[in-house]
Structure formats: C-alpha cells, structure tokens
Amino acid sequence: MSIEKLARVRDEDLRGRATGPGARALLEAVTRETPRRSAGLVRRRFVGGLAVAVALATAAVLTPVVLPGEPARATSYANSAISLERRGDWWVGVVKDPYADVARFNEAFRALGVRMTLNLVPVSPSGVGEVFRISMAPPPGTNDGFFSESLADGGLELRFPVGFPGDGWVMIGRRARAGEQYQNAASADAEGEVLEGVKVDEVTVGDLRPELARRGVTAGFQLVVPQGDGHTLRALDPAQVGDGWWVWDAQVRSADSVTLLVTRDRLPGNPLYEGGKKRR
C-alpha cells in the first residue's frame, strides 16, 4: 500500500488555500487530539526511570564508609587480604594474604569504624604471629589487650577488645619472602631457626665456624659492652674478630645469615642474660 493513500490531507489540498476544506480538516484533527496528558505521563515515567537508574548506579560503586563519630553500620567486613568481624566484646580478624598492601588491611578497620592500623613485617620463623610493637590501651577496667597467632595455612588470626580508647597501631610478624631481611632479633638456635640445636652461647667464634659453613650461614658481629645492669651493642668489622673471641648469643638476620654477639675476652657470666641463656 502506498503511504500517500494513508494521508487524510494532501499537500495539493492546502497549496494556496489557507482556509480551504483541507486546512479546516487539518485544524479539526489537531484540536481534537490533546497530547498533554500522555506527554506528562511519558515525562514522569522518564524522570522516575532516571532516578532508579541513578540510584542503582550509585549503589554499585558505594562501599561501606563510616565517618568520624558515626556508629558502625556493620559488624563484619572482608576483602581479599583480611576478614574482620565482631564476636561479643572482641574484634576477630583473619589475615588471608600476609603480603597484601597495608591499605587493604586498614580498609577493613575503617569500614567498620575501628580506629586501628595494622602493619605486617618480615620475621624469622619463630617470630611469625608475634606482636612486636603496639600502641593501644585496653578498655578501662580491663587488662585485655591485643593477641595474635600464626595459622597453619600461613595466615594470622588477630584478637583485640571492642571499645579500646584512642587510636590503635600494631606491628605483627609475617613469614619472610626469600631474600628479605628479618625485622626481629630472635635467637638463631630457637626452634625453626637457622642454627636450631646448636649451642650459640659461651662458645668461641672458632667453635661455631664449622657449623656455620656446614649450614651455609654467614655471620656478622656486634661487640657486647656491659654497662651496669645492662649492655650496649656496637658493630664490628668481621676482620677484627678472631677465632678466640667469645660468643654470648647469635641473632637471625635472614634465612642464611646471623649476627654473633661477642666479646674479646671471656666474662664471668653472660652479659646478655642474667643467670645464663635459657635453652628453648
């Protein structure tokens, strides 16, 4: 069917006839149809649909954010690095990726309105899960502080009380990657360490050298200087240290290096440990 046949008024009917039958027919058709109501409905539906679309788009990008002084809106939060939840009077966190960026850990605390900053540092095997530095106080009237332990899968579990005053900051040991220097000063003869089972106190440097070589461990040296009830340590050039120097302890530096704490002469007692070094 031709489109021309559908038209009720043709151009030739109107040409030169502003008030002819064709023009009057067109005027009547226009005035009979009142689109105001339908246009209003379309407009309102469009605005309403736009509002829903904006709301959905906004919801898709929002993450839980708690402003200072605003109560927490949730009791649990998780991302790829850590999960954190409230259990009674305790916050319990499980670090799933100890090597994640620090910001990912602290994201969980901020999302729940917890004023805590967590930092994980590389340590020797015996220091994994140990709290090395902390700046937080337990809630008034309690002695409950911060607890951490190493998990079998390499993660860490953290526990600290709800309602501690002020801002908290804590440094916890994680397993070191290959080549990373340890941030702790554990004894090298402790369980799991590079000189486990070797006597590293009240022996000479010469006594230790064969075992160090057998285990592929290099050694640096620090001089122990007794001072009243304590002591200080000073760095030594390895070339200064002879086989006859005395070792009072060995501290791990990495998976294949240690620091020997030494004096030139034998002392009447171990200057590092009152009553002598205890076996672990």
**Exposed/middle/buried for residue 105 (C-beta within 10 Å: 0-12, 13-18, 19+):** buried
The DSSP H or E segment spanning 37 is helix 36-61
Q: How distant, in Å, are the alpha carbons of 110, 131, 155, 170, 190 from that of 260?
A: 43, 24, 31, 29, 14
Please tell me whether residues 81 and 29 are part of one structural domain: no
Predicted local confidence at residue 277, as pLDDT: 84
Q: Are residues 89 and 114 in the same domain?
A: yes
Residues 132 and 202 in one domain: no
State how many domains the chain has. Answer: 3
Please report, to the nearest 10 degrees, the dihedral formed by the alpha carbons of residues 264, 198, 191, 249 taken in order: -10
- Do 199 and 256 lie in one domain? The reply is yes
- Last residue of one domain, picked from the residues 175, 209, 239: 175
Contact assessment for residue 258 and residue 249, using Cβ atoms and an 8 Å cutoff:
no
Query: Would you state the pLDDT for residue 47?
Result: 37
Residue 89 lies in a domain: yes
Q: Which of 175, 206, 224 is the last residue of a domain?
A: 175
For residue 48, list its beta bridge partners: none
Question: Domain check: are 161 and 194 in the same one?
Answer: no
Which of helix, strand or coil describes residue 12? Answer: helix
| 82 and 31, same domain (yes or no) | no
Q: Is 6 a domain residue? A: no
DSSP state of 35: T
pLDDT tens track, the chain, 280 positions: 444 444 444 555 445 444 555 545 544 554 455 444 444 433 333 334 434 343 433 333 333 444 455 554 689 999 999 999 999 999 999 999 999 999 999 999 999 999 999 999 999 999 999 999 999 888 888 888 999 999 988 889 999 999 898 899 999 999 999 999 999 989 999 999 999 999 999 999 999 999 999 999 999 999 999 887 788 999 999 999 999 999 999 999 999 999 999 999 999 999 998 878 876 5
The answer to whether residue 56 is domain-embedded is yes
> Is residue 67, in this structure, part of any structural domain at all?
no
Q: Assess whether 222 and 190 both reside in one domain.
A: yes
Task: Give which of 173, 175, 80, 83 is closest to 120, Cα–Cα.
Answer: 173
Residue 105 in 3-state DSSP? helix
Q: Cα–Cα distance between 15 and 22 in angstroms, integer?
A: 9
What burial class does residue 223 get, using C-beta atoms within 10 Å of its C-beta: 0-12 exposed, 13-18 middle, 19+ buried? middle
Is residue 96 helix, strand or coil?
coil
pTM of the model: 0.66
Q: How far is CA 106 from CA 6, 10, 118, 192, in A?
A: 71, 75, 6, 30
**Separation CA 93–CA 90 (nearest Å):** 10
Q: Residue 205 in contact with residue 260, Cβ under 8 Å?
A: yes
Give helix then strand counts, H and E, for the chain: 5, 13
Question: Do 80 and 171 belong to one domain?
Answer: yes
Residue 11: other Cβ atoms inside 10 A: 8
208 and 268 together in one domain:
yes
Domain boundary among 117, 149, 175: 175
pLDDT at 160: 95
Pairing of strands 82-87, 218-227: unpaired
Structural domain boundaries enclosing 164? 76-175
Domain presence at residue 5: no
Same domain, 95 and 43: no
Q: Mapping DSSP to helix (H, G, I), strand (E, B) and coil, where does residue 207 land? A: helix
- Residue 128 sits in the same domain as residue 163: yes
Considering the domain architecture, whether residues 82 and 167 belong to the same structural domain is answered as: yes
Question: Within a domain: residue 136?
Answer: yes
Cβ–Cβ < 8 Å for 123, 176: yes
Q: What is the pLDDT of residue 21?
A: 56
Residue at 84 is within a domain: yes
pLDDT of amino acid 180: 95
Residue 71 maps to a domain: no
